[in-house]
């Protein structure tokens, strides 16, 4: 029986955690030639996300494939071998791994070149922002293989609305950059050579930001229909943080945008 155990491993083969600048971590996965996501890549992505999620020095996270392709999707040659029992045994862990970016306390951005299909797009849907090259193609074509997206349907529906999400999931069609931006599937379209630097630029604004407040806001967004109740709890708990004292004091003294937060 196949199961996915999401654990941190120092022997990661396909995923690296780079720190190109103070406060920014880059989760980079490389499985040439098309960065297909198999169980091993999913495990390594989840482990890398868990690593940066508890690192107080990391204030923002970029997830990136490479200059050619983000990810062309699921490793179907692996999935084709699963029995129903094996699929049932690994579904929850694989779903969690593909949604690992959504659980991070830091703001996250997916830097997408080339293709972001299937599991690759599902991974990117968990990010707070998606920046794509103007040559990118996005889609969830799992239905064309007799399957469905495991981690992306709900997030896609919340992002672009149920009707548009159903169109993309049912048809499995690819989306070009202009349509992706119009749908709200992505946030920024740039020349292919600018994808990574644009993601770093977006992430950079949070490196000295109010980490505790940002994490609280993310938890409220993730709470979905229970977000209104969760907001009360998160709001009240921020009054015990140093950042709240620093932020309100600075705001009252000199206005917004001048506080020097400490992340506590």
CATH of residue 46's domain is 3.90.226.10
Q: Is residue 162 domain-shared with residue 217, that is, in the same domain?
A: no
pLDDT tens per residue, range 113-148: 999 999 999 999 999 999 999 999 999 999 999 999
- Together in a domain, 115 and 96: yes
User: Structural domain of residue 243, as residue ranges?
Assistant: 211-254
- The answer to whether residues 183 and 97 belong to one domain is yes
Task: Name the pairing type of β-strands 15-21 and 24-29.
Answer: antiparallel
127 and 231 in a single domain? The answer is no
User: Does residue 259 form part of some domain?
Assistant: no
pLDDT tens digits for range 206-259: 999 999 999 999 999 999 888 899 999 999 999 999 999 999 999 999 999 889
Find the distance separating the first CA and the last CA of the chain, reported in whole Å: 44
3-state secondary structure 118-149: CHHHHHHHCCCEEEEECCCEEECHHHHHCCCC
The residue among 188, 204, 220 that closes a domain is: 204
Question: Residues 212, 216, 221, CA angle at the centre, nearest 5°?
Answer: 150
Closest Cα partner for 56 from 13, 90, 6, 22?
Answer: 22
Rounded to whole angstroms, how far apart are CA atoms 175 and 68? 17
**Domain identity same for 222 and 96:** no
Tell me what pLDDT residue 12 has.
Answer: 85
In terms of domains, do 154 and 235 share one?
no
Q: Is the pLDDT of residue 21 over 60?
A: yes
Cα–Cα distance between 233 and 227 in angstroms, integer?
Answer: 10
Gap between the Cα atoms of 95 and 93, Å rounded: 5
Q: From CA 112, how far away is CA 184, in angstroms rounded?
A: 15
pTM for this predicted structure: 0.92
Q: Which of the pair, 98 or 10, is modelled with greater confidence?
A: 98
Backbone angles phi, psi at 193, to 5 degrees: -70, -15
Residue 226 in domain? yes
Other beta carbons within 10 angstroms of residue 76's beta carbon come to 14
For 73, how many CA atoms within 13 A lie in the half-sphere containing its CB? Answer: 22
Residues 137 and 167 occupy one common structural domain: yes
Task: Write the CB contacts of 76 (distance below 8 Å, at least 6 apart in sequence).
Answer: 145
Tell whether 172 is covered by a domain: yes
Number of domains the chain is built from: 2
Do 120 and 31 share a domain, yes or no?
yes
d(CA 116, CA 122): 9
d(CA 32, CA 107): 27
């Amino acid at each position: 029986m196949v199961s996915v155990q999401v654990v941190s491993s120092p022997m990661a083969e396909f995923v690296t955690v780079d720190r190109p600048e103070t406060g920014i971590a880059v989760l980079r996965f490389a499985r040439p030639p098309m960065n297909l996501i198999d169980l091993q890549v999913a495990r390594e992505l989840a482990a890398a996300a868990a690593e940066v999620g508890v690192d107080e020095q990391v204030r923002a996270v970029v997830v990136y494939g490479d200059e050619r392709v983000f990810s062309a999707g699921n490793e179907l040659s692996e999935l084709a071998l699963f029995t129903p029992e094996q699929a049932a045994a690994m579904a929850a862990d694989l779903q969690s791994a593909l949604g690992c970016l959504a659980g991070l306390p830091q703001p996250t951005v997916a830097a997408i070149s080339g293709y972001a299909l299937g599991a690759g797009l599902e991974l990117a849907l968990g990010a707070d922002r998606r920046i794509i090259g103007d040559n990118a193609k996005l889609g969830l074509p799992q239905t064309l293989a007799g399957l469905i997206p495991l981690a992306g349907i709900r997030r896609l529906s919340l992002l672009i609305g149920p009707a548009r999400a159903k169109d993309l999931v049912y048809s499995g069609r690819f989306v070009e950059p202009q349509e992706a931006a119009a749908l709200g599937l992505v946030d920024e379209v740039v020349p292919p050579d600018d994808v990574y630097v644009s993601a770093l630029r977006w992430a950079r604004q949070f490196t000295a930001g109010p980490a505790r407040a940002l994490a609280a806001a993310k938890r409220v967004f993730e709470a979905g229909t229970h977000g209104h109740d969760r907001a009360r709890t998160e709001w009240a708990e921020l009054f015990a943080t140093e950042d709240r004292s620093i932020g309100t004091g600075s705001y009252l003294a000199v206005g917004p945008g001048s506080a020097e937060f400490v992340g506590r």
